[in-house]
Amino acid sequence: MLFTPLISKPDSVAQIMLKVLLALLPGIALYVWYFGPAILVSITLASLTALGTEALMLSLRGRPVVPFLKDNSALLTAWLLALSIPPLAPWWLAVVGTAFAIAIAKHLYGGLGNNLFNPAMVGYAVLIISFPAQMTHWIAPHGLEQAGMVSSGLTFSQQLEYIFHGMLPARATLDAVTMATPLDTLKTHLHLGQPVRQILEMPIYGHLAGHGSEMVAGGFLLGGLYLLAARIISWHIPVAFLGTLLVIAGIFHLADPGHYAGPLFHLFAGASMLGAFFILTDPVSSPTTNKGRLIFAAGAALLTYLIRVFGGFPDGVAFATLLMNICVPLIVLYTQPPVFGKKDGLFGKKAKGDKP
Amino acid sequence: MRKLHHFHGGVHPPSNKAQSTRTAIAHAPLPPRLVVPLHQHAGEAAKPIVQAGDRVLKGQLLGMPDGFVSSAVHAPTSGTISAIDMQLVAHPSGLPNLCATLIPDGREEWIAREPVDYREHSSADLQHLLRMAGVVGLGGAGFPSDIKLRIGKQKITTLILNGAECEPYISCDDMLMRERAGEIVQGAEILRYMLDADEVLIGVEDNKPEAIAALQQAISASGSTLQQNKRHEVVTIPTIYPGGGAKQLIRVITGLEVPSGKLPTDIGVQCFNVATACTVYRALAHGEPLLSRVITITGNVRRAQNFEALIGTPITELVALAGMLPDTSGYIMGGPMMGFPLPALDVPMVKATNCIIVASEKLFPPSPPPMPCIRCTRCVDACPADLQPQDLYWFAQSREFGRAQKFSLFDCIECGACSYVCPSHIPLVQYFRFAKSEIRAREHDKQLADQARVRHEFHEQRIEREKREKAEKLAIREKAAQSAKLAGIQSLTPQQQAAQTELEAGRAHIIELAKSEVEHVKE
């Protein structure tokens, strides 16, 4: 049976997801450049787990497996989660997180298109709450050995040895080969009463934020700009998120520069760029109206800053995303744009009081 | 240069119009048989006034307009009526309709045509002439034009002629504007006169430069016949689908938005298709009723082309003229965005048939199986009515029709732009049509139920009242009888008294019955 429209734009969910995956590549490449290939191991582990869990859940739910496996959405969840957790961690960390993300956060909510929460961030939240110790050991970037920050980098085979067997080379300890994130280090040293400027002179910091990690953030920014240019995402979420973060961090920094790091630090530290372009922009769990997107992203930026600066977690993007995900239906309901020929708004003037 | 406005959304599907604009409009030869449906327009069907066996002349009335929104139907050529019966017609429902079958005699004998000078007549007279000439909107909806000209006290400032033709593949209006720009401009002036509008703006998409040039030339050439203080202008509008939707076109040209649930005339604008204007001119200036139209035959054919064909020509004939290719898989009436599949190929073309697209799997590959909606809002970006198709889809799918209605489902113009851009290949428009028809059916059912309830309550009240009145009457009669008995009983013979007693017993029994019935009803 023919039905109109007979024609459609050549596009598909799989292609959209593929483009997002491609947009992650500059960031991943810089990650490998600065931190070594261990991240590729966690991406691979997460990807395999995601596909396996996806196939299992689809068959348990009696859904066609092949078309959904090909939609690349599980891969995207896996990559985003892998990029959020330390690469030098026991192999099961990525596996548990990804399996939880796909099975619980995605499929128990109804599968593709139905999840209220961003699956990757649910996976991250589960890991940071359940395995906080494993989540704080980050590989140090190249170039810090001379500064004496870490004893000496592990070779790739030594990293693999640790990931899969939990074995470190003789005389090496985990603390000696890893470090806290720049955000964590800042927080720790602030507690010691050191001023921000002095802390940021430590060798683990680069020009804007963490040495190496700021470049990775730059890679994600580049990929994000591609997503904007390719019209995969609209500007509302990244602009509102980064803009709000900039403003809040700026205000605090101006009020007390000794205690609060500057706005650019916050933009390039932690998962700000990844969150702004790749995590908060997940279409399924973010608002569908442009005004709603602005509110959603601004709220997420505010929460991110508060959790980062005043909370106990190393970064705030994941929890900020999840908290704002809860608000999405309400935000969408109250930000309906006016319909053609109904300039009084969606529900008309008379019905202003009785929103459904 | 006129300042143009824009509407939200819209898409740019490949136009595919070049195939059918390479050659001039061809006259389709007289087919061996014409099937003229009596219901070709919006509103009530025309009432047949000829019978099988009648010989008719070209332009002779076959069906009389019947009802306020209705239009006349004529014999497209001279010949003999062979049947008036139910036949398959081009309608999405696929249901048969009453048709007059005409066997042409090939002589093309006209009725007596009576051209009129519109300037000597009132708008009301001209409306009647157009109604009797069977003039309906040729853009696709087939709405009787005389109704659209009956505007009451509203002041119409702008008459817009729709020459946008935004749907891909269709080129009948384009070719008509190129070849008969003069008649279109004359028709526009007649419509302007009837509406007493201040200006005539002909909106044409910028992918039809030949048509625009022809119209401009026609306007300057017919300067003396146009009223001088009124403006006639061709407005070149950007090519974007659905820029030819009446509300979208009005928005682009005037910047005005037709309020939801209102008509363009409510904001002082009226809109007609260019082909309709041409027909109006032929009907009045030449006395020719609407007997033929230009139709695009395109798609999977050897020679995609526009034909001037008689109403009632079987589509098979036209498709054969264009040279249908063997791997054909179906036929669409209208464009690829809003058209509908034909139930069969031997259906006749009607006044609203602007295009037949011969489909093949190669031209229109079947859409991949739908995936879940990921709320990417490409549909929102494409929607020319500023709707949230992803939400409407959700409501339609979960049968939350009340919420769908609250989210302005009925402002959807079913243009299909959302389906066109959907990366999940969800047939969104089908869902919206389904939801609309469900809501309409429910409202209809509710109306019927309300009427039935009111009728039932009235019925019960009436029965009770009747019983009560009956009982009261009986009581009065009983009383009278009692007093009469008392008065007359002494003067009766014993036999008469016995008969009287018997009668009394019978009557008492009847009263008893009636009372018990009243009790019963009261219960």
Asked if A278 and A261 touch (Cβ cutoff 8 Å), the reply is no
d(CA B43, CA A276): 55
CB-nearest to B384 from A11, A71, A340 is A340
For testing contact with chain A, the best of B5, B249, B406 (most A CBs within 10 A): B406
Task: Supply the pLDDT for residue A348.
Answer: 41
B371 and A15 within 8 Å at the Cβ level: the answer is no
A128-132, B40-44, B377-381: segment of lowest average pLDDT: B40-44
Query: Picking from A233-242, B50-59, B491-500, which range would have the lowest pLDDT averaged per residue?
Result: B491-500
Question: What is the pLDDT, as a whole number, of residue A180?
Answer: 79
Residues of chain B contacting residue A74, judged by C-beta atoms under 8 Å apart: none
Which residues in chain A (258-287) have CB-CB distances under 8 A to chain B? 283-284
On average, the pLDDT of chain A sits at 88
In chain B, what residues touch A12 (CB-CB under 8 Å)?
A: 368, 371, 423-425
Q: Using CB atoms, which residue from B337, B376, B407 is nearest to A4?
A: B337
Average pLDDT over residues B9-18: 94
CB contact under 8 A, B406 and A356: yes
Predicted confidence at residue A345, as pLDDT, reads: 46
| The pLDDT value given to residue B173 | 96
Distance of residue B286 Cα from the nearest chain A Cα, in angstroms: 38
Residue B489: helix, strand or coil by DSSP?
helix
Check whether A206 has a pLDDT greater than 90.
Answer: no
Residues of A within 8 A of B334 (CB-CB) are: 4
Q: Average pLDDT of B388-408?
A: 93
Confidence (pLDDT) at A184: 83
Q: Would you say residue A104 has pLDDT above 70?
A: yes
Region of B10 (left: φ > 0; alpha: ψ -120 to 50; beta: rest) is left
Q: Is residue B372 over pLDDT 90?
A: yes
Share of chain B above pLDDT 70, in %: 97
Asked which of A217-231, A278-292, B31-45 is least confident by mean pLDDT, the reply is B31-45
CB B358 within 8 A of CB A269: no
Cα angle: B91, vertex B94, B98; to 5 degrees: 70
A349 touches chain B (CB under 8 A): no
Q: Decide if pLDDT at A171 tops 80.
A: no
Nearest to B80 by CA among B111, B48, B57, B109: B57
CA-based nearest residue to B135, from B21, B30, B42, B215: B42
Interchain contact, A346 vs B168, CB within 8 Å: no
Chain A interface mutation, best of B419, B429, B432, B434, highest count of A Cβ atoms under 10 Å: B419
Residue in B with minimal Cα distance to A346: B407
Nearest to A8 among B257, B338, B419 (CB): B419
Q: Residue A351 pLDDT more than 50?
A: no
Nearest chain B alpha carbon to A232: B376
Q: How confident is the model at residue B338 (pLDDT cuts 50, 70, 90)?
A: very high
pLDDT of residue B63 exceeding 60, the answer is: yes
pLDDT band at B26 (very low <50, low <70, confident <90, very high): very high
CB nearest A2 (choices: B14, B359, B390): B359
Using a CB–CB cutoff of 8 Å, tell me whether B403 touches chain A. Answer: yes
Chain B contact for A12 (CB, 8 A cutoff): yes
Do B429 and A5 count as a contact with CB atoms less than 8 A apart?
yes
Bond prior to B14 in cis (omega within 30° of 0): no
Q: What is the CA radius of gyration of chain A?
A: 21
> For the segment B162-205, what is each residue's pLDDT rounded down to a tens digit?
999 999 999 999 999 999 999 999 999 999 999 999 999 999 99
Reported as a single tens digit per residue, the pLDDT across A212-223 is: 889 999 999 999
pLDDT for A147 equals 56
- What integer is the mean pLDDT of A35-59? 94
| Residue in chain A nearest B372 by alpha carbon | A113
Nearest residue of A to residue B368 by CA position?
A12
Strand partners of residue B84:
B100
B12 touches chain A (CB under 8 A): no
Cβ–Cβ contact A3 with B under 8 A: yes
pLDDT band for B435, please (50, 70, 90 cuts). very high
| pLDDT exceeds cutoff 90 at B55 | yes
The residues that bridge with B502 in the sheet, in sequence order, are none
In which band, very low, low, confident or very high, does the pLDDT at A356 lie, cut at 50, 70 and 90? very low
Q: Which residues are within 8 A (CB) of B481 and not within 5 positions of it... i.e. 6 or more apart?
A: B507
CB A233 within 8 A of CB A251: no
Residue B138 and residue B354 in contact, taking contact as beta carbons nearer than 8 Å: yes
Q: Would you call A2 an interface residue with chain B, using a CB distance cutoff of 8 Å?
A: yes
Residue B483 vs residue B126, higher pLDDT: B126
Q: Is any Cβ of chain B less than 8 angstroms from the Cβ of A171?
A: no
Token output for A134: 């494993």
Going by their DSSP bridges, the two strands B292-299 and B355-360 should be labelled as parallel
Question: Which of B258, B372, B420 minimises the CB distance to A5?
Answer: B420
Tens digits of residue pLDDT in A302-318? 999 999 999 888 889 99
Helix (H) or strand (E) holding B192: helix B181-195
